[in-house]
Structure 1
């Protein structure tokens, strides 16, 4: 498994309890630092959902533990899988944009996460990465 940062139970609970926009900023910082984005998948592919308007969304997390916490009910049987950040930026997000999909950034079991366009997510990650280089 790809390297991820250490996360204890207290940190997990504290970050999970943040407001959506704070979790979004946390996501941008962590995936930029560690250069991996996490999704949920099974042998059939990556999980997706629909937002309130019926748009297809792909959920993403900054750490496999947050993804695992959401692998219940409709996503039962799925496991966290990583996506290298540069592949995510160059292939995933443009492909999602082309397919008319949205990104659900850092959903929790009780909150849907921040729904953004792939283009916006790409801009935010690239801006953060530019500060790190």
Structure 2
């Protein structure tokens, strides 16, 4: 990914970044998250636990600041993400935070995320 693409995507509103996320993770068959002796988490205004996920390593690294400054970007296989992560998160009532940039994020229900990923993966 070149700097122009990075700069362009990072400035998009959350709904456009969500669409980018779906397309890129289906295309590359991997999701990125931040890890350091455990996965990076956050909380929404209601106190629900969130796990941030990114479409590419560069975006995850860009968000490894402040309380996540020691975290490293780690890939997750898309099928493991779908079959294990999302199923376990739903059971544990943990919400995915899709492609957050600072406080600007998309929180989507796991069933919607599963549907969108499945639909996009059918194109491959």
Fold conserved between structures, TM > 0.5: yes
Provide the rounded CA distance (Å) in 1 between the counterparts of 2:104 and 2:46.
Answer: 13
Matches within 5 A, 1:52-131: 52-108=45-101, 110-131=102-123
Unaligned runs of 5+ in 1: 1-6
Q: Normalising by the residue count of structure 1, what TM-score does the alignment of the two structures yield?
A: 0.90
Alignment RMSD (CA, Å): 0.9
Partner secondary structure for residue 125 of structure 1: helix
Given candidates 27, 32, 36, the residue that maps to 1:33 is 27
**2:12 aligned partner:** 18
The number of aligned residues is 124
Provide the rounded CA distance (Å) in 2 between the counterparts of 1:41 and 1:112.
Answer: 21
Displacement of 1:131 in angstroms is: 2.1
Q: Normalising by the residue count of structure 2, what TM-score does the alignment of the two structures yield?
A: 0.96
Provide the rounded CA distance (Å) in 2 between the counterparts of 1:26 and 1:68.
Answer: 17
**Contact persistence 1:41–1:79 (CA under 8 A):** yes
Unaligned runs of 5+ in 2: none
Partner secondary structure for residue 22 of structure 1: helix
Q: What stretches of structure 1 move > 2 A for 4+ residues in a row?
A: none
